[in-house]
Amino acid sequence: MSKRIVCAINKLVDAARIMGRGEVLAPVELNREDELGELAAEINRSASMIEAKRIEMNCRK
């Protein structure tokens, strides 16, 4: 695999691990127009939605 692909995959794996631990995720920055770029965008969208729900739940307490 090319180094660019491996680097992108490693960033996505790291992001998934951070989300899995329940930590706040900084946006994954992959400037790619391929499937890895799409996956990064979806991880970012999911992380934003999770954080919004977490804030909403804390406000209800």
Q: Which residues of 33-51 are buried (b: 16+ CB within 10 A; e: fewer)?
A: eeebeebbeebbeebeeee
CA distance 25 to 49: 11
**Which pLDDT does position 60 carry in this prediction?**
87
Longest dimension (CA), the chain: 49
Q: What is the pLDDT of residues 12-32, one digit of tens each?
A: 999 999 999 989 889 999 999
CA distance 35 to 10: 14
pLDDT at 36 over 90: yes
- pLDDT tier, 8 (very low <50, low <70, confident <90, very high otherwise): very high
How far is the first Cα of the chain from the last one, in angstroms, to the nearest whole number?
Answer: 49
